[in-house]
Structure 1
């Protein structure tokens, strides 16, 4: 039996190339990309779950590093000679907190701001290879046009990789990712395709939004945010900066060791199905309930014939309006 890639998808860069197992793209790594893969800001992403807290209760085990390498692979396919865009693709998620979006905005955290700070720390390494860190930041922010910067509402390379990678982990892809990729092009940073392929992608966008609205995701996210809030309330000043730089395993170790969070952290890891979501007006929400708000959904869609299909798309019709405020309660309090 012949194979189309190496026996292992090596993320160290030492082999000089990276074979992306999702898209089946063989990326010949540049010298600076190999150096970045050995830097801690990038390497740390191997220990941060792309799915955030819901990774403890689902089959999605993809790391932020896998996703970042996937975005690099797509950038190398669509803009192989744009060295700055390739670097920006590899670095675009270095600002993520432990458990990714789970802790976003808690304690004033913003992964875009943290990402810019961490990217600037890599300025000497980038300069060694003739790359200005500001150019990388400009690509990341969209100030400089590239394959990574698109129009509002249009699906971009970053969200394309995250969308299809998540769909693959949950068995939701309509076609094999390489077959889908063969039907795509990128126009001014926007993914563009034919009607049939767009329908497949839009269906995956809707499914991904339903994942974010699911009880499993809302429960795990809300409980972890509550635990980290308790942790920071009892911790010495400056602990927030330490937490923001942690990996997932380091955060879990801290939560499991801290008196104010140990019991809750153990309970969530052992039985994440012990909670449920109820309406904030439900009487059960007053019995140990934690109120939270889902503030946004990612509903970007691909271009068809150079234009964004009408919004909201019919496939998104059954999604809840956001912001959506809800309560997470122990199942015994919800009567089940």
Structure 2
């Protein structure tokens, strides 16, 4: 085992720091970790612009390696699912979901395109790109189950986010030891399912909180200004986009203020006359199965949640 939890595939062994799952990387996984598409994810924050206001600063690559660890734990011989876990987020924009939908941008469509561009690399290792796309594209697989049932992707997100926001009440490996995977759905005992449902509800509360809404609304608004003149933005990184935002006179002042003093901004009703409109239209509320079906989740904020983020009035 490596003494350092490296993310480059330099060693054929990987041990995930959150899940404590140790497994041998396959040659195609090692090669993918050196590809631009996957390597780029180390420079895209999983929480988007909320990385400037919270402890949730880990990257899309960390999440993808966590998902690969879970697939290696539950289905170690499913090569297509392992590859899909590692590349499933390659279509994400800078700051992840922050300006999803602006200008018609959709990370799922971008992801399919970028995964297809990996066809020669995958073929060199005997992996069919269509098999990889099919893992999440429909039907049941290691990464896909029925609607409403917790899948490994969301399990990974809820637990990793829960650690960043101090919502976990036990180490992730202890939780993992009580989980089973059945047709792509996470199954467990009722108490553990209730615990995971509370992590999902906590994540939903966070997505509508000041800490998430303010930075994402501001960056979303600023990025929408630059997109028409910078078509390269969807495939760039957080740091590259920050550079553009801080350099352009149309966005420079607000980008600097957000980085230096996020509390200069606040959340106002959607009728507020000035600022950056923001909307939450979807929450991830899948829950683990116990006794054959997904357990109930407590009530969260009703959707769509709409607001405007603007500078505070001083004086």
Give the TM bin, normalised by the shorter chain: over 0.9
Return the offset for 1:71.
0.3
Aligned to 2:268: 278
Aligned pairs (5 A) from 1:97-112: 97-112=93-108
Structure 2 partner of 1:165: 160
Separation of aligned partners in 1, 2:136 and 2:30: 20
What is the CA-CA distance between 1:27 and the residue it aligns to? 1.9
- Runs ≥4 in structure 1, deviation > 6 angstroms? none
Task: Tell me which residue corresponds to 1:292.
Answer: 278
Out of 197, 209, 215, the residue aligned to residue 202 of structure 1 is 197
| Cα distance in structure 2, aligned partners of 1:305 and 1:80 | 26
Q: Partners in 1 of 2:264 and 2:138 — Cα distance?
A: 43
Instruction: Determine helix, strand or coil for the equivalent of 2:266.
Output: strand
- Kept in 2: contact 1:216–1:273 (CA 8 A): no
Q: Does 1:155 align with 2:145?
A: no
1:120 equivalent in structure 2: 116
For 1:320 and 1:278, locate their aligned partners in 2 and report how far apart those are by CA, in whole Å: 16
User: Which residue matches 1:246?
Assistant: 236
Measure how far apart 1:325 and its partner are.
1.5
Query: 3-state SS of the aligned residue for 1:100?
Result: coil
Alignment of 1:91 with 2:87, yes or no, is yes
CA distance in 2, matches of 1:79, 1:158: 14
Residue-pair matches, total: 315
Q: Give the Cα–Cα distance (whole angstroms) in 2 for the partners of residues 159 and 87 of structure 1.
A: 17
Question: Which stretch has the larger CA shift, 5-14 or 209-218?
Answer: 5-14
TM-score w.r.t. length of structure 2? 0.97
Q: 2:28 & 2:138 partners in 1: Cα distance?
A: 22
Matched, 1:321 2:307: no
Partner of 1:301: 287
Deviation at 1:322, TM superposition (A): 0.8
Alignment partners' CA distance in 2, 1:214 and 1:199: 23
- Over the aligned positions, Cα root-mean-square deviation in angstroms equals 1.3
8 Å Cα contact 2:47/2:96 also seen in 1: yes
1:42 to 30, 38, 41: 38
Structure 1: 5+ residue stretches without partners: none
The residue matched to 1:11 in structure 2 has which SS? coil
